[in-house]
């Protein structure tokens, strides 16, 4: 009975779930119109415009292919919009491409006559309904002359839009100008990715391919929609308050980098057809690489690893290949060192000789590894293992399996060559004089990374489990437009150099919904080491990391320590670090050089962190971040040295909404006397730890609404730091000492919005520190 009454009320009141939403009507032509699924990959920018707004905005895209201002009105489309418009709704108006078609009387509207008249009608009738009109100049076509100079094809139409906007005092978004900037910035070749430049065989609608410099790809549409959203913010339109943020950072979705996605032909090349056998005995390297070569010769497609156990040696991917690991497939890499040729590559940011990676690609475009199967790197035959990492039973079993021990009987090596390489300084380093010929004696030491891509573009890794790597699991270097999605990455917890993913000198990347459980850093950002990295000079930049979990590793999300080429514009949101030695780990050292800046982090959950929940450290010593039993993490000698090209910099980090239950130290900032760590903001944090906040050689460090529940009597320690603001700090009752300030260079320390009487009793000045160092209440 109650349900019937409720239903009756809904009918009577005309309840609609969306009735309280503000509507944003889009009217215009094919450049923003909705497309049918069969039109893929053509995308109107209006199709993705909703993504830039919060849920209380409803974008209604009424733009239609081929319409002008004249035909849009004459076909009754405008009347439908005015009928459904309500007070407070918005109308975004972009026409021009089809109004200029002077040979089509049904569409032609002269720029300074009917076109202006029709735009004026749209504006006035929107205002009559108490709506809010926005005019948009026509979006550019891609046109370059033979010398690479950009050509404008829109004549008087953009100026006409601006004239109407000025006369009627209506906002105008100059997409004509903004889109030209983007196209020119991409360049003659690069701008093709914004539009419909397709080869044949990729999409059903375009079997022979197409060259279309008017309509957008998915990538181009998102960029154009982002330009419109950004202008809403820039012009302070009232709609700006509904723009969507990235997590809880101050950045908006329109600020995020846009990542190009690969696409592949529908042809499938099953490795069985090339002689592969799934008996676990046959080495299938030749068969798999033959399938890849055949696929490449046909223009690309999918190379299928079907269900079964497939033993193989190294695989080399080529352009336009999707290596698909089917459900139930195990791609098992060989445990025979001789199957992995020695090659010139890099190791930890330096040029080096190593064994060829199980899966590699160089200078490839449009590549992928997808599926739901498993890739196993046979890492157990490459790794040395320390006795302290295993139980007695595990240690005895390992020794019984073969291999050799060091003199102290505390480290196991899988072979004599492995032991020799581990004991040889700089083994394999090209700068140290090593060549392919003179490293053969310790080839077993030269562990490869499982996946190694160099100078590749448009990469997708999706769905696969990568495990048991000899060294780093996933290592793209000098690559652009990389997507890692729905991956599981695993290594034994004791696997040295067993990083989950290392993006090195890469641009435009996305790591989304991935799980890592590894022996070293989980998600790591790098850009080369020391002078070699600075000489390369390619930063890692424009990367998104979201919705991911690291279960074990030295660090959850990590920058460094090889960051000599710089790191900038990273966006991290909604991640969990559960049992990692350090949560957010930013590490470097003198000699690295490089600038790390503009890092935006929000909504991070951490638990059971043996080291620091948040660590900025310029004294990275390549040691485990957590001291072993009986050892201490001694502080380094902090003596100033001259500034030079090798002086690293950390600056402009924005961290918001983090929770950690259980850590040794909540926040550690440790800069150099000659180069402090600058401009760090941590806001809205709840951190439970033994030690609280330690700041050494920091500058412009801001903590706001941070709860530090510590076991140590001293909650916060400041040493030789300037302009440190602690605003609204909450801490455990009964603490003997809230704040300890030391160092003759400490000044501008502010403790705000904290109980004044309690604070005065709990502040201590040590060494040469003057009470003048503390300002504020």
Catalytic residues, by residue number, are 30, 199, 215
Beta carbons of 470 and 382 less than 8 angstroms apart: yes
Query: Residue 720 phi/psi, 5° resolution?
Result: 45, 50
β pairing state of 691-696 and 649-670: parallel
List 602's β-bridge partners, or say none. Answer: 573, 656
Q: Got the DSSP string for 392-430?
A: HHHHHHHHHT--EE-TTS-EEESSHHHHHHHHSTTTTBG
Output the CA torsion sign for 767, 768, 771, 772: negative
Output the CA torsion sign for 687, 693, 699, 702: positive
Q: Which two tokens stand for residue 345?
A: 């590559």
CA gap 658, 606 in Å, rounded: 8
Contacts of 157 (CB under 8 A, 6+ apart): 96, 99, 100, 111, 115, 137, 138
Beta carbons of 380 and 447 less than 8 angstroms apart: no
CA gap 286, 424 in Å, rounded: 34
The angle subtended at Cα 75 by Cα 74 and Cα 77, nearest 5°, is 105
Q: Got the DSSP string for 699-729?
A: EEEEEEEEEEEESSSEEEEEES-EEEEEEEE
CA gap 389, 267 in Å, rounded: 48
CA gap 555, 502 in Å, rounded: 12
List 698's β-bridge partners, or say none. Answer: 677
CA gap 559, 615 in Å, rounded: 10
Q: 11-43 burial, b if ≥16 CB within 10 A, otherwise e?
A: eeeeeeeeeebbbbbbbbbbbbbbbeeebbbbb
The angle subtended at Cα 618 by Cα 613 and Cα 623, nearest 5°, is 70
Coil, strand, or helix at residue 661? Answer: strand
CA gap 180, 190 in Å, rounded: 13
From residue 713, alpha-carbon distances to 388, 627, 634, 731, 758 in Å are 33, 22, 20, 11, 14
Number of neighbours of residue 557 by Cβ within 10 angstroms: 27
Q: Reduced to 3 DSSP states, what percent helix, strand and coil does the chain have, rounded to the nearest 5?
A: 25, 40, 40
Q: Which two tokens stand for residue 767?
A: 């060494």
Q: Got the DSSP string for 509-570?
A: EEEES-EEE-SS-SEEEE-B-HHHHHHH---EEEEEEES-EEEESSEEEEE-SSBTT-EEEE
Rg (the chain; Cα; Å): 30
CA gap 398, 774 in Å, rounded: 57
Beta carbons of 457 and 477 less than 8 angstroms apart: no
β pairing state of 321-325 and 301-305: parallel
Q: 72-95 burial, b if ≥16 CB within 10 A, otherwise e?
A: bbeeeebeebeeebeeebbbbbbb
């Amino acid at each position: 009975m109650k349900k019937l009454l409720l239903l009756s009320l809904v009918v009577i009141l005309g309840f609609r779930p969306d009735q309280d939403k503000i509507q944003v009507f889009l009217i215009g032509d094919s450049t923003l119109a909705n497309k049918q699924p069969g039109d893929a990959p053509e995308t109107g920018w209006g199709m993705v415009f909703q993504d830039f707004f919060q849920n209380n905005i409803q974008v209604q895209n009424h733009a239609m292919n081929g319409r002008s201002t004249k035909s849009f009105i004459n076909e009754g489309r405008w009347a439908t919009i005015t009928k459904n418009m309500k007070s407070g709704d918005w109308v975004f108006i972009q026409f021009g491409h089809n109004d200029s078609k002077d040979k089509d009387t049904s569409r032609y509207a002269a720029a300074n006559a009917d076109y202006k008249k029709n735009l004026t009608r749209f504006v006035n009738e929107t205002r009559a309904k108490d709506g809010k009109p926005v005019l948009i100049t026509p979006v550019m076509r891609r046109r370059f002359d033979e010398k690479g100079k950009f050509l404008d094809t829109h004549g008087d139409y953009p100026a006409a839009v601006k004239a109407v906007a000025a006369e009627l005092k209506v906002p105008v978004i100059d997409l004509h100008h903004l889109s030209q900037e983007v196209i020119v910035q991409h360049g003659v070749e690069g701008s093709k990715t914004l539009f419909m430049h397709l080869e044949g065989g990729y999409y059903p609608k375009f079997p022979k391919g197409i060259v279309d410099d008017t309509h957008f790809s998915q990538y181009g549409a998102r960029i154009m929609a982002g330009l419109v959203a950004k202008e809403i913010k820039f012009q302070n339109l009232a709609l700006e308050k509904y723009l969507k943020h990235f997590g809880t950072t101050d950045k908006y979705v329109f600020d995020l980098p846009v990542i190009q996605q690969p696409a592949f032909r529908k042809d499938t090349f099953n490795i069985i057809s090339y002689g592969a056998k799934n008996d676990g005995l046959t080495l299938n390297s030749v068969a798999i690489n033959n399938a890849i070569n055949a696929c490449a010769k046909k223009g690309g497609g999918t190379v299928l690893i079907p269900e079964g156990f497939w033993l193989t040696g190294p695989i080399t991917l080529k352009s336009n290949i999707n290596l698909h690991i089917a459900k139930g497939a195990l791609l098992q890499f060989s445990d025979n060192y001789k199957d992995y040729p020695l090659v010139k590559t890099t190791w930890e940011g330096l040029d080096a000789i190593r064994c060829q990676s199980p899966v590699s690609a160089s200078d490839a475009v449009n590549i992928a590894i997808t599926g739901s199967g498993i890739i196993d790197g046979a890492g157990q035959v490459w790794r040395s293992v320390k006795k302290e990492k295993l139980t007695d039973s595990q240690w005895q079993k390992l020794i019984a399996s073969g291999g050799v021990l060091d003199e102290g009987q505390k480290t196991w090596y899988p072979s004599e060559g492995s032991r020799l390489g581990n004991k040889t300084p700089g083994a394999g380093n090209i700068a140290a004089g090593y060549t392919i010929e003179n490293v053969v004696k310790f080839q077993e030491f030269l562990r490869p990374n499982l996946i190694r891509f160099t100078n590749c573009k448009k990469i997708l890794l999706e769905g696969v489990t990568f495990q048991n790597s000899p060294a780093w699991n996933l290592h793209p270097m000098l690559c652009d437009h990389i997507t890692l999605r729905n991956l599981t990455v695993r290594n034994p917890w004791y696997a040295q150099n067993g990083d989950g993913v290392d993006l090195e000198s890469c641009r435009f990347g996305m790591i989304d919904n991935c799980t890592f459980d590894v022996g070293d850093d989980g998600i790591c950002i790098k850009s080369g080491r020391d002078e070699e990295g600075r000489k390369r000079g390619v930063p890692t930049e424009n990367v998104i990391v979201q919705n991911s979990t690291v279960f074990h590793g030295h660090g959850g999300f990590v920058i460094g320590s090889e960051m000599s080429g710089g790191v900038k514009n990273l966006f991290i949101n909604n991640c969990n670090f559960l049992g990692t030695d350090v949560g957010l780990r930013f590490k470097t050292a003198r000699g690295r050089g490089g600038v790390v800046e503009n890092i935006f982090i929000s909504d991070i959950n951490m638990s059971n962190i043996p080291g620091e929940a948040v660590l900025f450290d310029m004294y990275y010593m390549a040691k485990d971040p957590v001291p072993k039993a009986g050892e201490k993490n001694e502080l380094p000698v902090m003596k100033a040295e001259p500034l030079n090209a090798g002086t690293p910099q950390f600056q402009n980090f924005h961290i918001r909404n983090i929770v950690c239950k259980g850590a040794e130290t909540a926040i550690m900032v440790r800069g150099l006397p000659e180069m402090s760590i600058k401009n760090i903001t941590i806001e809205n944090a709840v951190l439970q730890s033994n030690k609280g906040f330690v700041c050494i050689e920091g500058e412009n460090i801001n903590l706001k609404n941070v709860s530090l529940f510590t076991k140590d009597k001293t909650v916060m320690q400041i040493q030789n730091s300037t302009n440190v603001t602690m605003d609204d700090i909450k801490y455990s009752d009964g603490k003997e000492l809230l704040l300890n300030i030391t160092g003759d260079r400490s000044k501008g320390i502010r403790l705000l919005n904290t109980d004044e009487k309690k604070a005065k009793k709990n502040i201590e000045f040590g060494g040469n520190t003057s009470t003048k160092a503390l300002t504020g209440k």
